[in-house]
Amino acid sequence: MQITKRNVELRVDDSLMRVYVAAPKAAGVYPGIVFYSDIYQLGSPIIRLANYLAGYGYVVAAPEIFHRIEPVGLVIEPDDLGRMRGNDDARRTKIADYDADCLAVMEFLKTESAVSPGKIGTLGFCIGGHLAFRAAFQNEIKASVCCYPTGIPSGKLGQGIADTIHRVSEIKGEMLLVFGTLDPHIPEHDRQILIKALENANVPHKVLLYEAEHTFMRDDGYRYDSAAATSAWSGIVTFLERTFAN
């Protein structure tokens, strides 16, 4: 499916938040996806992932998660200095600000004529996986895909300690968790805490495990695993199609 691409500007708490929007070119209505990047914001690898998903029939809206700190359009380089910068930006961002951004993107999607009423989901990578998990607390979110989400058991997300792991019972939609078993940032112990929390809260969920490292779906790094990424995308697309069909 061919897609269109554009940037929109949203105001959130007096901060200008640029949102990249990829959507099917063909006229019609499609589910909307709040799409979260990793700490490097909207560089080429993340844009390719957003475009890929849009091509399956989704209106994908990807915000710049550090818009209160970084200049509009800033892409953080995925090197040692960039990693330090991105992690520092994450620590300096209030958890309530992340939540406010989520609501703003959701409201944008609900006003888009190409978005099916009542069909909104979320997908994110790394810190974005954590943000997608938090987005699932909103009643309108029907499906959430969290790819190697970091910091949920520990509460590491922004300023202070995030209460994410303690709010799992608020989730009304379905969840898909994607992990690499070789990922040191989300060890087996943390994966089990997440899975157990979903089970205890009776949240419908599925887990995809791959013998892969952290950020294995990002195609510009040494940890990229094309076979695992392709399989993960197959599982993600199947999950979203099934969930939004209900």
Q: Which residues are catalytic, by number?
A: 126, 183, 214
* Long-range Cβ pairs for the range 128-131 (8 Å, 24+): 128/35, 128/36, 128/37, 128/38, 128/65, 129/36, 129/178, 130/157, 130/162, 130/164, 131/36, 131/65, 131/98, 131/102, 131/157
Gap between the Cα atoms of 242 and 56, Å rounded: 13
Residue 8's Cβ-count burial label (10 Å; 0-12, 13-18, 19+) is middle
Angle between helices 95-111 and 127-135 (to 10 degrees): 60
Gap between the Cα atoms of 143 and 157, Å rounded: 21
The number of CA neighbours under 13 Å toward the Cβ of 117 is 0
